[in-house]
């Protein structure tokens, strides 16, 4: 996907040189094209990294959106904790299957190791405060149901951190540390 900058450079060179410009290997125009293409590649790489970092939070919010489809009234903290525990146990069946398929005495495969690490991380987060949409606010519950699945749209929602012991505190978007 060419960026705006690359399009501008290509358009300028085409306007200056004609439809089929032949550029010298070290010409200024060729260097401008190369730097614009490199900038475009860099921006695409950074966007892909950012999207990969945001994906777990998007999936988490989508899961809680699907959990709340049948709820019309705000939820209590204990209801939210049950939802969190359901969310944390979403990979238990796959882990059990992977463990059953493995021969005795063999080390776990990569997928099993990654799932266990992810579960341990999420359990640690739950002990200190699990980042979820604030589901005990009626307006926020309605916004979550109407959410379109985009990262930029999450800024309109309120979030909270729910701890395993029942503590609830306000949180910010995007999640930073234990905010």
What does the pLDDT average to over 102-106? Answer: 91
What does the pLDDT average to over 162-171? Answer: 90
Query: What is the model's pLDDT at position 36?
Result: 87
What does the pLDDT average to over 68-97? Answer: 91
Q: For residue 75, how many C-alpha atoms fall within 13 Å in the half-sphere facing its CB?
A: 25
* pTM listed for this prediction: 0.75
Which domains are present in the chain?
A: 1-57 (no CATH), 68-179 (1.20.1440.170)
CA distances from 80 to 61, 140, 162, 163 (A): 13, 14, 8, 10
pLDDT at 2 over 70: no
Tens of pLDDT, residue by residue over 134-158, are 998 899 999 999 999 898 888 899 9
Query: What is the model's pLDDT at position 176?
Result: 75
Q: Report the 10 Å Cβ neighbour count for 174.
A: 14
């Amino acid at each position: 996907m060419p960026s705006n900058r690359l399009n501008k450079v290509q358009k300028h060179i085409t306007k200056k040189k004609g439809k089929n410009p032949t550029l010298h290997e070290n010409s200024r125009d060729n260097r401008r094209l190369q730097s614009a293409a490199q900038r475009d590649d860099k921006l695409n790489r950074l966007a892909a990294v950012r999207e990969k970092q945001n994906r777990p939070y998007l999936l988490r919010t989508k899961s809680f959106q699907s959990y709340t489809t049948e709820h019309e009234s705000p939820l209590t903290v204990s209801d939210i904790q049950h939802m969190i525990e359901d969310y944390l146990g979403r990979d238990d069946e796959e882990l059990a299957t992977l463990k059953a398929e493995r021969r005795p005495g063999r080390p776990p495969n990569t997928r099993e190791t990654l799932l266990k690490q992810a579960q341990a991380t999420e359990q640690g987060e739950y002990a200190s405060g699990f980042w979820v949409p604030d589901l005990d606010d009626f307006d926020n519950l309605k916004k979550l149901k109407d959410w379109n699945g985009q990262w930029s749209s999450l800024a309109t929602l309120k979030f909270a951190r729910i701890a395993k012991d029942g503590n609830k505190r306000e949180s910010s978007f995007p999640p930073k540390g234990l905010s």
